[in-house]
Amino acid sequence: MGRFGVPELVLILFILLLLFGASKLPEIARSIGQSIKEFKKSMSGTEDKPKEEEKK
C-alpha cells in the first residue's frame, strides 16, 4: 500500500462530505484532533495530574 497523495486525500474528503454533511465535518475533525492529542500525552507520560493530588 503506497502513501496517500493529494488526489487521494481530496477523494476521501469528498466521500466524507457526502456521508456526513458539511455541518458534521468540523465536529468530527475536532474530536479526532482531541483524541490524537490525548493519545500523544499518554504515550509521552506527561498526562496532567488532577489538582487534588497536587495539593497533597
Identify the pLDDT of residue 56.
Answer: 55
- The pLDDT of residue 47 is 54
pLDDT at 4: 79
**Contact call for residues 47 and 41 (beta carbons, < 8 A):** yes
Alpha-carbon gap, residue 21 to 14, rounded angstroms: 10
What cell was used for 51?
A: 489538582
pLDDT at 2: 74
- DSSP 8-state assignment for residue 26: H
| pLDDT for 1 | 62
pLDDT at 46: 59
Distance of alpha carbon 47 from alpha carbon 39, whole angstroms? 10
Q: How far apart are CA 39 and CA 34, in angstroms?
A: 9
**Residue 27 per-residue DSSP state:** H
Residues lower than pLDDT 50 in the chain: none
